[in-house]
Structure 1
Amino acid sequence: MLKQPDGTYRYVLILGAKVNGIKPSKALRHRIEVAAAYAARFPHVELIATGGQGPDEGMAEALVIKRELIARGVSEERIHVEAASTSTYENFLLSRVIWDGEPGLTVVTNDFHVRRARLVARLYFGLKTDALYALTPASVKPKYVIREQLAYIKLFLNYMRWKWRP
């Protein structure tokens, strides 16, 4: 059975997702809502908003996450921002300066993505994780589930290259 997040870890890593203009997509909004509720339950945790700005986005995903968390009552002082990443791996890598030295993190992402995100944390960074599962809107779930399967292939190939690099 998976460990339910209980405030054990100091940092909550909120993975970025699509931004429509300057508004969060439904998938990202669900992540933000889950993270804000968790932050209210555990006022000692700090949140790391991750995600850069894609060419079709009007604002970096991390900045949208931060703005929306503040609108939901999370204190700005508890929110760290990593606004350059373009992948799950980079979400962890580029926010490492914030969480470095911690034994684990709480990861926030949509349900279809949790397993791979936790795998990236363990394989590349040696992190223990628990996770908050945000719902995936039914209208986009089939697309994301297929995309996720392809992402596992990419993860495997990249990890093998990384692990066996000279």
Structure 2
Amino acid sequence: MLYKTSQNNKKKSFINKRVIATLKFCILIGLLYFSFLQFKIIQYANTTIPKGADYIIILGTKVNGTEPSLTLQNRIDTAANYLMKNRETIAIASGGKGPNEVISEATAIKQGLITKGIGEDRIVLEDQSSRTTENIAYSKKLLPSKKHIGLVVSNYFHIYRSRIIGKDNGLDLYSLPAKTPIKEAPRWYFREYLAITKYYLEKAHIIN
């Protein structure tokens, strides 16, 4: 009986070690994967910002009633700063109306730009999209002919996915990253890691 008990304990110990080793391996793979995503986010956001772009696409995010969230306001401020320095550049304000939003994200962007002194005639509305893939695809349809140099305006964490979606839509977009509110950064980055992963999987499914 003691021998049998000893054997069972050894077996359990072996199984526990295997489980722990497997968990450690999964954690390591997860850390390496998220490190890779963070590297791509940094790489794609930290690029040269060309002057005199033909257009910029400003991606929408949450609107609190009729007021832009702090995250969206940072995008508006970044876009307005560029537009004031580059008078020939047009802006495409992109984003539909989500739950609990009184106005569309595109409308909030437009109003914010006008408040900053950007002429209404330089702003094009795209107010039907509900996610980044639609933001880019629908905005592309609104681009005037012979407009080649474009930038995408979003928060730092969102630039990588926005640009690769742009590339998939035939747009070679430059980066114009906006600041991310510090207190909201962990939540946004975690959501973005998941969103990028989802996009990878969807793209792989389409290709296959």
> Computing the radius of gyration over CA atoms, which structure comes out larger, 1 or 2?
2
Q: Gaps spanning 5+ residues in structure 2: where?
A: 1-45
How far apart, CA to CA, are the structure 1 residues paired with 2:50 and 2:185? 24
> Given that residues 5 and 131 in structure 1 are in contact (C-alpha distance below 8 angstroms), is that contact kept between their aligned partners in structure 2?
no
Q: Gaps spanning 5+ residues in structure 1: where?
A: none
How far apart, CA to CA, are the structure 2 residues paired with 1:138 and 1:26? 11
**Equivalent residues in 2 for 1:108-119, closer than 5 Å:** 108-119=153-164
2:75 equivalent in structure 1? 31
> Given that residues 65 and 100 in structure 2 are in contact (C-alpha distance below 8 angstroms), is that contact kept between their aligned partners in structure 1?
yes
Structure 1 residue 149: deviation in Å? 0.4
Secondary structure at the counterpart of residue 182 of structure 2: coil
Q: What is the identity, as a one-letter code, of the residue corresponding to 1:39?
A: L
Structure 1 residue 104: deviation in Å? 4.2
RMSD over aligned Cα atoms: 1.4
Query: Does 2:64 match 1:20?
Result: yes
> Given that residues 54 and 148 in structure 2 are in contact (C-alpha distance below 8 angstroms), is that contact kept between their aligned partners in structure 1?
no
**Equivalent residues in 2 for 1:33-112, closer than 5 Å:** 33-99=77-143, 102-112=147-157
State the identity as a percent: 38
Equivalent of 2:165 in 120, 137, 141 = 120
Higher strand share: 1
How far apart, CA to CA, are the structure 1 residues paired with 2:62 and 2:72? 7
Q: What is the identity, as a one-letter code, of the residue corresponding to 2:95?
A: G
Structure 1 residue 58: deviation in Å? 1.2
Higher helix share: 2
2:207 equivalent in structure 1? 163
Equivalent of 1:132 in 168, 172, 176 = 176
2:41 equivalent in structure 1? none
How far apart, CA to CA, are the structure 1 residues paired with 2:50 and 2:130? 26
Distance 1:150 1:100, change over 3 A: farther
Q: How many pairs are equivalent?
A: 162
2:47 equivalent in structure 1? 2
TM-score normalised by structure 2 residue count: 0.74
Q: What is the identity, as a one-letter code, of the residue corresponding to 1:2?
A: T
Structure 1 residue 100: deviation in Å? 6.5
Deviating 4+ runs (over 6 angstroms)? none
